[in-house]
Homo-oligomer: A and B are copies of this chain.
Amino acid sequence: MQQKTRIRSPRIVAILTLSVFAACGGRQAANGGGGGAGGDVLALMNARGLSEQDVTAALKTYTPTGKHDEYYTFASGGHGGNLIVIGVPSMRILKYVGVFSPEPWQGYGYGDESGEVLRQGNRGGQTLTWADMHHPALSETAGDYDGKYIFVNDKCNPRVAVVDLSDFTTQQIVSSELIASEHGATFVTPDTDYVVETSQYPAPLGGVYAPIEQFDEKYRGAMIFWKFDKARGRIVPAESFAIELPPYMQDLADCGKKGSDGWVFCNSINTERAYGGILEGKPPLESGATQNDMDYLHCINWRGAEAIAKAGKTETIAGMRVIRMQTAIDEGLLAFVPEPKSPHGVDVTPDGTGIVVGGKLDTHTTLFDIQKIIAQMRAKQFVGKDPYGVPILDFKSSVFGQCEIGLGPLHTVFDDKGFAYTSVFIETVVAKWSLKDLVVVDKIDTHFNIGHLVSAEGDTVSPDGKYLIAMNKWALDRFAPVGPLLPQNFQLIDISGAKMQLLYDMPLPLGEPHNAQMIKAGKLKPIEVYKPIGTNPYTHDVDPSATVAGKERIERKADGVHVYMTAVRSHFSPDIVRVKQGDTVHLHVTSVEQAKDATHGLAIGGQNINVSLEPGKHCNIVFKVERAGVFPFYCTEFCSALHLEMAGYLLVEPK
């Protein structure tokens, strides 16, 4: 058949193609395969203004009912405080996971034990109900994503959270008062021994006050190494430690891998140590912090630091063991390499030999050679010291080379063919370049103002290539307008061919993602129901108060009224709860369902309570009834034809 349609002119091909496809649409109608809606493809292309390029893009992304996406992308939710799970290539959002912000659909922070997880994140007596999440990090084994956990950070009030990917719930939030803000988090060591969190805006360590005029002397940065217990799925603060750093603005970080395992690299801006003061006659930070042509790439031997911390050469500040800067210098744990102007991205290559740095006021990416850096540090081949005594390596002796990339390079990810992909903010493109030759081979426009970018498994030891997402900060005219606050725009790009092809524009409806990681869908094995019935998601064990069907009861005890309740389609038992004004009520609720997706919710009027009861889950809810009255409670998750009848009454008799 190919021969019959052999083509002499591209123009004719196009016409032929469309005509034939139109005939094909007609056939579908004749056959009843979708009927009149089967459609005339040419008419569709005309009616909807689709180019042939759009047609292939549509077919590369459209995911029919029941077919699953190939990859999950986990994106930070920015100042939405939640984690975004996206299917690739369909670019459909599969879930927002509540992390730092309460989220009532998941019942996260609305009455049950999840509130305890959120309360772990309070700092210095301040209740915190939001976060500025930037850089998610999937747990790794031997430098490859293992699909078990994901870590996320809060830039504003420095915190790190652990999300369990077996049930997509936030299990833990840790925070250290050592630092006052962060940005370079989260990044994991190749076997997830540690989760790295680095300060951004310098402040006196430990949350104390010092006048800003004492910036150079008393303000500091720090890098925290949170110890992760993989078996328990918990960060262990007591086994964690930090390294004190100068009061520059430490920025992003990345851990060495393969031959460079044991090292972590972190860039910095504002080595000028400006701190603003516009009304006081000083330059704004944006100019004060951009005077130097070079800032400092921080090179840190974390494996060495771990040994030093174990040896007790630390000082405890705000509960955190801190390796003082002088100790880090003396022990050879810390050195600087100059990096071009106002660096932002710092990304270790898949083979672990290099680090790519993008200087956002530069026109190059710089590929540093890790082994050269390590060798110079070991040989103490320094060319100077910073004002704090940190040894500085020679720039030229530390690099493999530079690539002329365009104005404003930021972040770099990798594919499986030796190419790097760098987001170029000011030029608003993705630049594809050869790590071997340091030459740009392709560029593609983004819409608009690209920040981070992510490729399939692109920061592991074995990137997949195939897909890349440009995480654009401005959407401008890309989508139907939704008021002055616009979504961000994720653009899916096919990187499987020689030329990059734009496949899809995806608006971000909530939150402002910064970074993301993309993992093969098959690596995740989430549970479908909690087993056995009565499992508490926060202990992964049957709860001592789990209620067995047939044993539902109400017991008045010294500490209040205990209600042992079950939920099943379509009733709660008990469905009438009689208490007195002022009572403390303890609801012990077990979903005795075991069918996938048979989720119930339990909302209680007048109490600001709503919990999500996935099949088999148990939760405990404690509240005090301050007010007399009649308060309906009911199932909030549409569960059956008689869902509306799945209700009861909390009857609060006046005192």
Contact = CB atoms under 8 A, between A and B. Distances in A.
A509 B93 contact: yes
Contacts of A50: 59, 62, 64
A78 interface: yes
Interface string A483-498: 1111100010010111
A17 B24 contact: yes
Contacts of A285: 571, 575, 645-648
Interface string A469-494: 00001111111111111110001001
Which of A23, A92, A280: most chain B Cβ within 10 A? A92
A484 B529 contact: yes
Contacts of A648: 276, 285
Given A65-B478, A124-B629, A209-B653, 11 more contacts: A65-B505, A87-B479, A125-B626, A168-B482, A180-B630, A181-B605, A181-B634, A204-B630, A285-B571, A285-B647, A484-B599
Contacts of A507: 87, 92-95
B62 A62 contact: yes
A575 B104 contact: no
Interface string A267-286: 00110000111111000111
Interface in A1-60: 1-2, 4-7, 10, 12-17, 19-21, 23-25, 27-28, 30-39, 41, 44-45, 48-60
A408 B644 CA distance: 14
Contact of A597 (B10, B104, B408, B486): B486
A654 interface: yes
A297 interface: no
A265 interface: no
Nearest to A529: B484
A224 interface: no
Contacts of A475: 597
Interface in A89-129: 91-96, 101-106, 110, 123-129
- Please report whether the interface of chain A is mostly helix, strand, loop or mixed according to DSSP: loop
A47 to B, nearest CB: 9
A207 B629 contact: yes
A286 B27 contact: no
B80 A103 contact: yes
A336 to B, nearest CB: 19
A644 B17 contact: no
A361 interface: yes
A480 B523 CA distance: 11
Nearest to A408: B641
A603 B41 contact: no
B60 A644 contact: no
Nearest to A608: B128
Nearest to A32: B499
